Amino acid sequence: MRAVVRGTERDLLVFSGRAHLELSERIAEELGTELVPTQARDFANGEIYVRFEKSVRGADCFVVQSHTAPINDWIMEQLIMVDALKRASANSITVVAPFYGYSRQDKKHKGREPISARLVADLLTAAGADRIITVDLHTDQIVGFFDGPVDHLFALPLLADHIAAHTDQSRLTVVSPDAGRVRVADRWCDRLGAPLAIVHKKRDKDVAHQVTAHEVVGEVAGRVCVLVDDMVDTAGTICAAADVLYANGASDVIVAATHGILSGPAVDRLKNSRVSRFVFTDSLPSAAAVDLDKVEVLSIAPVVAQAIKEIFENGSVTRLFEQ
């Protein structure tokens, strides 16, 4: 085990939970280090045990865990890891959650509902986390739920540049699948120099995952449409939006999303969809596990590793995206 040292006496140590070990290893490799050896196992009744096999006293520790299924188990494991580091006298503890669990529950839509995204932040604080690194939160307001620094990273440059390199940019139209993604789609337009279109949809408030897409605002006929979103879960919204685009004359539809959750019927919907390409990052292991030629997975590890390096060296994470 070797630690990264950058002109300081402090050690940078990277730890990984069991949710997405491959991504953690890629991040450590980008940093020129290795993951700290860790014992992690489940007791017969489901309780999680964690112990680190290296001293962490005085070290700056980064705990990587993407909140994939079974999401509650992996959030709990990360909380336990943070608690162990706090009790072992770590100098600082940064939670690295490429996908932040419960991010869709960021506000109350009806009475007697929780704000679970805030609860997750409170749990991380109580466990001993000093800082959070995450990628493409569902809404920006979640940054304010944590009483400490939050480095909100973006996969847009990675995804947009990949699309631009493999598509005729003069034919591109960026499409928001609903009104809530318009700001994100605007950033894509600036990056690609492409026009914007919006799919108007109506969701049944009493039936989960039930979406009816209606009409398109903007010119899509004869265009290559890039549907952009932060996540694809059951793929109902994105596939319905793609159908509407084709019905309005789009020549091709590409989907680009940071988080490929791909729950339940998602894989079948991707397979049967007319969408030519789905481009995700490896923030979750589920996207990489899909064996479909039309699914492409890009690694978010270099972006996360660079942010970790900037934090450790007291640099600027913001400048990574200003460039």
Q: How many helices (H) and strands (E) does the chain have?
A: 10, 14
Q: What CA–CA distance (Å, rounded) separates 107 from 113? A: 9
d(CA 198, CA 174): 9
| CB hemisphere CA count around 8 (13 angstroms) | 14
Question: Per the residue annotation, which of 86, 108, 110, 201 is the catalytic one?
Answer: 201
Joined tokens for residue 68: 């994939």
Cβ–Cβ < 8 Å for 65, 32: no
Q: Are 86 and 93 in contact (CB under 8 A)?
A: yes
CA dist 61 and 135 (Å) reads: 19
DSSP letter, residue 37: P
The tokens for 115 are 């704000």
Catalytic residue status for 201 = yes
Active site residues: 201
